[in-house]
Amino acid sequence: MTDNFNKLNSHLEAIANAMPDPIFVMGQDGTYLDIIGGKERSLYADGQSLIGRKYQDVLPEKMAERFLKVVQKAIQTGRLNEIEYQLADGDVDGIESPRVTEGQWYEARVYPIDSETYGQPAVIWLAINITERKHMEEQIEHLSSNDPLTNLYNRDYFLDIVDEEINKAKLNNKPVSLCKINLDCFKRITDAYGHEMGDKAILTAAHAIKNVVKELGYIGRMSCDQFMMVLPEVKAVDAFRITKLAQETISAQKIKLGNNETTCLTSHAGVTDLRQETEHSEDLFKRVTTAIKALEGTREVTKIL
């Protein structure tokens, strides 16, 4: 019987020590009581130095409070609890690791231990490094909201931003302006020199607009050669100046077309702002589009409507 027991313990110990993900034993009083596994050094630092120390002694204050609440909830309810958190090795006092981490993401599964082996109610805290998954989720989210060529917001996501900013403006009684810039020469460049040069023209215009708008608002690519800007807390007269500067910056760029040929980009733009409490985004869209149409056949390039 003793031999079988020793053999079983030996097997369990070998399995536990071979586990790539760490299992912490966390006490109800906020103490790291034990650690099992966690041998994969490409994902985890060595946490043995944490044993016997309390969360508040080794973790940032808010993180320590959060950990303790999760542990105590699991003990009180007797149920599985789950938590996601971001933590860098440098955030944990006493952890030394050759890995350079700006903050790894972890998913923990926390479950109470029935045994009184550790002298107090405790839980097992299985920590799994999910940083790669988080990065993938961020990339998917980015692709769903951004135009792949210019990295500006895509049409659908931008329209949601406009609705949100208009609602904020109404709630806070603040101005908000909408601006639209249409490139005049995109089709000509694409027809004569191909889509690669067309993409170059779009990127040049997008870069110029971003350099002007910066933190003043949000920019969206509405179609192949049309851009929009929503400028929170900016009146139409100021939005006109910003849009005019964006157009001037666009036209100042030279695009090499090949055979030593170059061209500059020209555009027309419309500007409007929120006028009445009852207005919605559709009303502003119509006005900026009407403003641009009113410029056709004239020498003007920007118009407030």
Question: Of the residues 138, 168, 194, which one is the last residue of a structural domain?
Answer: 138
Residues 288 and 154 in one domain: yes
Low-confidence ranges of the chain (pLDDT < 70): 1-18, 40-43, 89-102
Q: For 244-255, how does the pLDDT look when each residue is reduced to its tens digit (9 = 90+)?
A: 999 999 999 888
Please give the pLDDT value at position 180: 95
Is 0.85 surpassed by the pTM of this model? no
At 34, which CATH number? 3.30.450.20
Residues 128 and 218 in one domain: no
Residues 134 and 150 in one domain: no
Residues 26 and 128 in one domain: yes
Residues 168 and 126 in one domain: no
At 168, which CATH number? 3.30.70.270
Q: For 114-161, how does the pLDDT look when each residue is reduced to its tens digit (9 = 90+)?
A: 777 888 999 999 988 898 888 888 888 877 889 999 999 999 999 999
Please give the pLDDT value at position 300: 80
User: Which residue range(s) make up the domain with 297?
Assistant: 146-304
Residues 167 and 272 in one domain: yes
If one counts the domains in the chain, the total is 2
| Helical pair 195-213 and 236-251, crossing angle rounded to 10 deg | 140
Cα three-residue angle 162-140-232, rounded to 5 degrees: 20
Residues 61 and 180 in one domain: no
Residues 100 and 160 in one domain: no
Residues 132 and 185 in one domain: no
Please give the pLDDT value at position 98: 46
Please give the pLDDT value at position 102: 62
Please give the pLDDT value at position 1: 57
Residues 255 and 170 in one domain: yes
Please give the pLDDT value at position 115: 73
Please give the pLDDT value at position 18: 67
